[in-house]
């Protein structure tokens, strides 16, 4: 009988306590190429694509003195067409400027219209991922054109 009480007493004390015992899973972040947080001035970025034209839609956090904490500003940045069609160099220059605002941003949306050829889509996706200076936006998500 005493052995049974000796075994049950700790169990009763632990389960009848008003304080809950909770375990949290904690893991140290790996150094180097681990997960990168999405911080910076750039909230969302999308490239709208037609067979002959490109434009960039960016949603930026406002940082001026009069802005509230989560106030966003929509900007449409046109990319002038090149001599032979789509201006990929101009697109990369504008994307590099936006990348400087938020260097940790990795994701971008590409929104082609229905009449865009697959070849054009692949070429623009490659231009969005990187340029001659390095990576731009390596995670390209396809969406519907507005």
Is the residue at 93 inside a domain?
yes
Is the residue at 77 inside a domain?
yes
For residue 106, list its beta bridge partners: none
pLDDT reading at 33 higher than 50: no
Is the residue at 103 inside a domain?
yes
pLDDT, tens only, 60-112 = 876 655 555 667 778 888 888 888 788 899 999 999 988 888 888 889 999 99
Say what the pTM is. 0.65
Cα–Cα nearest to 110, from 87, 89, 134, 137: 137
Is the residue at 68 inside a domain?
yes
pLDDT of residue 19: 62
Instruction: Give the separation between CA 29 and CA 65, rounded to whole angstroms.
Output: 34
> How many structural domains compose the chain?
1
Question: Most confidently modeled of 38-42, 67-71, 130-134?
Answer: 130-134
pLDDT of residue 83: 81
Is the residue at 21 inside a domain?
no
pLDDT of residue 128: 92
Angle at 129 between CA 126 and CA 133, to 5 degrees: 105
Determine the structural domain holding residue 75 and report its residue range. 52-142
């Amino acid at each position: 009988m005493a052995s049974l009480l000796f075994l049950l007493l700790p169990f009763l004390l632990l389960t009848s306590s008003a304080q809950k015992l909770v375990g949290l899973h904690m893991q140290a972040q790996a150094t180097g190429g681990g997960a990168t947080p999405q911080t910076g001035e750039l909230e969302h970025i999308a490239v709208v694509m037609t067979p002959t034209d490109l434009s960039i839609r960016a949603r930026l956090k406002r940082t001026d003195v009069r802005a509230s904490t989560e106030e966003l500003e929509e900007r449409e940045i046109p990319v002038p067409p090149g001599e032979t069609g789509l201006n990929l160099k101009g697109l990369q220059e504008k994307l590099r400027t936006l990348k400087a605002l938020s260097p940790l941003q990795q994701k971008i949306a590409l929104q082609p219209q229905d009449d865009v050829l697959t070849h054009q889509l692949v070429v623009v996706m490659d231009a969005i991922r990187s340029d001659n200076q390095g990576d731009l936006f390596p995670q390209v998500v396809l969406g519907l054109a507005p």
